Structure 1
């Protein structure tokens, strides 16, 4: 009776396979979420840099001179 009870308490080979599959799928999804969060952080940093960058007034004069227009 004890052997039968122990056998019923442990997972079957198919159940172990399903557990391994679920663990692998969970790892895959967690890696994708982490990668997406990292890309989002990088994107937000680049956007913040772009928005806080000050315009160079000499650059505008230079571009106008290249086109053949006088400065401001």
Structure 2
């Protein structure tokens, strides 16, 4: 796929490199400024999904480990 794109870009290799770099930057700018802000309220990575209080057996103990336990 990348070879197909590279062959269809105009100009010599340095022109192709500049056009490919500009295309990557344009796609990144569209993702950053349009797509990610649109998706963020729908995905909500910053909200936890685990609710409830932890049980005493799942937490760490306040006692130090015994002599044979690392």
Per the shorter chain, which TM-score range? 0.3 to 0.5
Q: Which structure has more helix as a fraction of its residues?
A: 1
Length-normalised TM-score, structure 1: 0.40
The structure having more radius of gyration, on CA atoms, is: 1
